[in-house]
Amino acid sequence: MHKTDIPSGAHFHERLASRWHQGYASGGFRRRLDFIESRLAPLVGPGSRWLDAGCGAGTLTQTLARLGAQGEAVDGSPAMIAAARQMGGDCSSGPFQFRVVHTVESLPYPDESFDGVLCSSVLEYLERPGAALSEFARVLRPGGRLLLTAARTGSAVRTVQVVVRRVAALAGRNAFEYLTVSRHTCGPGGLRRAVEAAAMRVDAIEPFDPVMPPWLQSVLPSSLLAVTATRPA
């Protein structure tokens, strides 16, 4: 695949791939991992077939595997998939197959292929998030579950980052560069409508912030929203 064929959100992550997994060792990434694992645990049955859509270096794919799932993990960044394969060992014998896709807005799987779809912090990078949600609904079997996290509109942390980015630019510095490719944010209502427009039933929408202390999260808008949804039977 030529670099120019790679969507901007995936292209941005290419150079982060070799360090992505180790970022989960501590801090906000670790707290995000623990939160997602706690929400996945009741959804993942032993031997169930899951898709990790936008899997990055496969850290959450490993969590799915530890919970007893098997299936597929895809990403638009070849470097991320290479890192995931390296970390996961021989992917042909592991519970998950890792695959480069052009975009999760168009998935190379037949209808009703999976019991569950995980999509963590990917939606905000897509050109057409609605198309990705429709694809997740299509590849889920009736009764299948979706766990997705998305960037929240009005997030206190993101608002500070935007201001810091503008001030840093005056000094010729490129702070929080991810903001150039993280193009979508949503509120709880917008996220609910988007998931429902893709013909899925929303079971829960929860705020979560891996950076702010918990007491501040009850006062200020969180960075993330996590939605759990079901494809109706």
Ligand X SMILES: C[S@@+](CC[C@H](N)C(=O)[O-])C[C@H]1O[C@@H](n2cnc3c(N)ncnc32)[C@H](O)[C@@H]1O
Residue 130: Cβ within 10 Å count? 14
Compute the least distance from the CB of residue 173 to ligand X, in Å: 22
Nearer to ligand X, 174 or 218 (CB): 174
Task: Enumerate binding residues for ligand X (CB under 6 A).
Answer: 7, 9-10, 13, 54-56, 59-60, 75-77, 80, 101, 103-104, 120-122, 125-126
Nearer to ligand X, 10 or 229 (CB): 10
Nearer to ligand X, 5 or 167 (CB): 5
**How far is residue 95's CA from residue 83's CA, in Å, rounded to a whole number?**
16
Compute the least distance from the CB of residue 212 to ligand X, in Å: 18
Nearer to ligand X, 9 or 144 (CB): 9
* Residues whose CB falls within 8 Å of the CB of residue 168, separated by 6 or more in sequence, listed in order: 174, 175
Widest Cα–Cα separation across the chain: 55
**How far is residue 100's CA from residue 43's CA, in Å, rounded to a whole number?**
26
Compute the least distance from the CB of residue 18 to ligand X, in Å: 12
Compute the least distance from the CB of residue 170 to ligand X, in Å: 27
The closest alpha carbon to 80, from 127, 23, 18, 25, belongs to 18
